Structure 1
């Protein structure tokens, strides 16, 4: 052991690093691979998280054997192995909740007349019981984790998530976790099946095949590892694109005289007198990763006589496809609130409106559950328009009948104007 530590402090040119081509629990294939590397003059020295480090030396035929233990060996125990002809080569420890798993690698010259490290296959099978149990538990935990991830992504009670995925595309982390967990589950199942295969062989009294073919297994492991790297690269690229897009495309502009997207203006909707300070507001424009163009128009004014507040918020979303607009609108009608760039707006008790002016329309009467705002949602083709209208000249709409009358009046006034702008 001290010799190994001192060797690590020497020039790194003495060492060659190889990415781990498989899990260490694949004992027979790893032993075979280590032996082939020794014939090339590369001898296992130590492990890191992702790599196996080999020390350069004179090529020679070498037998490698792996031992799986639940604790680290003492110096005296290592000396006993050495006296039997099996020299310590490397150790990798996987920490556990209750006990660690220690992978020991021993080596001896191919021509040395020393007995096998394990002479009783049945006893060796028993030594793998703890490792088998841990890998089986890992598979169970990964399956539970996968179920949680899919439930979070696909559960019907999350219309806001469906809307975000279709409109903004700002949920790449969730998508990443779905595929990452799938790949990790495949790896976990693969490791568990490997150790199960070895235990079954040993329990039947047959020793491990120390010259097992490892190339096909290495290729499968490399494919899974490559997919995980590509997945991480995709996530980084998407997040970087979102940041760049947010900086480049998001603009807050002064209130325009005319909008270049379908929007009914406050001065068109309100037929009373406004205060002398007129209408103020701004326009928020944004392109999203999902290819949607979002315009949010915010207008504020005061009524002339009582100086009551009037507000009209219009969100216009143009999606790239009709089918995505349909699905996004369906999710929108199930949502309790819409999260705009400057805050969120409650939908209230929204209900469908019978009309042939647009493809779909829903409206909600003002009330306490939507902060006394009239809400209108409309879809025509791939265009979605949301309108939130606050008119404080009518008070708090404590009377539900009065609120419904106001809703119907606003709907009858707004829909024809909005349909005309959608056609234009």
Structure 2
């Protein structure tokens, strides 16, 4: 049985050229793409081989058998799909024709995805504005932000809001990037199938590590608060404290010390 290897994806899913280049570089090292996930790609370890990879975009998340067969007849084998992106591979020596020879025609495959990502971006931005409004009310409505910090009532919500804010930023970036790619294709500019991916890979890995660490620590905060939480009763003896005790201002004999 061939050994499988999981690797963090080099960049965001909409960077088509970078993923194609990454898949080819991995095949050169003997790691052949098997499956794609949200954050990781699964490879099967084998012999190093010169491979070409191409990603086709379709608003349908599953390709029909007829579509797959049509690509196979052109020399492209179906590998896997992730979201609206479908990956095909072909040995370099086969010199198979490109999936799309006309960039302007290829731009139409991005039309529906462009609309969908634009809608997602608008919804994400609106949701983020509402979250910022609610957090602002928690922190500043009573004019006691210092008390909020001391009590720790909004720290976890703020960390979650930062995470959601980054997700909204990614949605907006995806929409802008796909629209720019579609515009380039309409102008006759082809996708760079050998786009450099290492720079974004380092950035993507760093962000993934930081977010995993922050989210993990934020999950511990409620338990730390429970452990640290303690209620103590002031002693009856008069202490040199800068406070006024209730007993000093209230002389009602019916009051009982709790």
TM-score if structure 2 supplies the norm length?
0.88
Match of 1:269 among 246, 249, 256: 249
- Alignment coverage as a number of residue pairs: 254
Deviation at 1:216, TM superposition (A): 1.9
Change (3 A) 1:265 1:24: closer
Distance in 2 between residues matched to 1:78 and 1:90, nearest whole Å: 11
The answer on whether the counterparts of 1:135 and 1:188 sit within 8 Å (CA) in structure 2 is yes
Change (3 A) 1:67 1:206: same
Distance in 2 between residues matched to 1:219 and 1:167, nearest whole Å: 36
> What residue is the counterpart of 1:258 in the other structure?
237
Change (3 A) 1:237 1:259: farther
Residue 123 in 1 paired to residue 111 in 2?
A: no
Structure with the bigger percentage of strand? 1
Deviation at 1:131, TM superposition (A): 1.6
> What residue is the counterpart of 1:171 in the other structure?
154
Distance in 2 between residues matched to 1:113 and 1:264, nearest whole Å: 88
Tell me the secondary structure at the aligned position of residue 153 of structure 1: helix
Distance in 2 between residues matched to 1:259 and 1:166, nearest whole Å: 30
Change (3 A) 1:161 1:270: closer
Distance in 2 between residues matched to 1:90 and 1:258, nearest whole Å: 75
> What residue is the counterpart of 2:121 in the other structure?
139
> What residue is the counterpart of 2:257 in the other structure?
281
Match of 1:152 among 129, 134, 149: 134
Change (3 A) 1:129 1:223: farther
Deviation at 1:269, TM superposition (A): 2.7
Q: What do residues 333-379 of structure 1 show as CA deviations (whole Å, max 9, x unaligned)?
A: xxxxxxxxxxxxxxxxxxxxxxxxxxxxxxxxxxxxxxxxxxxxxxx
Change (3 A) 1:157 1:232: closer
Residue 78 in 1 paired to residue 68 in 2?
A: yes
Distance in 1 between residues matched to 2:74 and 2:238, nearest whole Å: 87
Deviation at 1:252, TM superposition (A): 4.5
> What residue is the counterpart of 2:81 in the other structure?
91
Change (3 A) 1:216 1:270: closer
The answer on whether the counterparts of 2:5 and 2:44 sit within 8 Å (CA) in structure 1 is yes
Tell me the secondary structure at the aligned position of residue 53 of structure 1: strand
Tell me the secondary structure at the aligned position of residue 234 of structure 1: helix
Distance in 2 between residues matched to 1:196 and 1:25, nearest whole Å: 11
- Report the more deviating stretch, 27-36 or 255-264: 255-264
> What residue is the counterpart of 1:192 in the other structure?
175
Tell me the secondary structure at the aligned position of residue 75 of structure 2: coil
Stretches of structure 1 lacking an aligned partner (at least 5 in a row): 1-10, 94-101, 283-424
Tell me the secondary structure at the aligned position of residue 162 of structure 2: helix
Match of 1:245 among 220, 228, 238: 228
Change (3 A) 1:58 1:167: closer
Change (3 A) 1:157 1:241: closer
Change (3 A) 1:39 1:166: closer
Tell me the secondary structure at the aligned position of residue 6 of structure 2: strand
Match of 1:45 among 20, 31, 34: 34
TM-score if structure 1 supplies the norm length?
0.55
Structure with the bigger percentage of helix? 2
Deviation at 1:37, TM superposition (A): 0.6
Deviation at 1:194, TM superposition (A): 2.4
Distance in 2 between residues matched to 1:162 and 1:242, nearest whole Å: 18
* Higher RCO (CA-CA < 8 Å; seq separation 6+): 2
Stretches of structure 2 lacking an aligned partner (at least 5 in a row): none
Tell me the secondary structure at the aligned position of residue 280 of structure 1: coil
Alignment of 1:404-419 (within 5 A): none
State the superposition RMSD in angstroms.
2.3
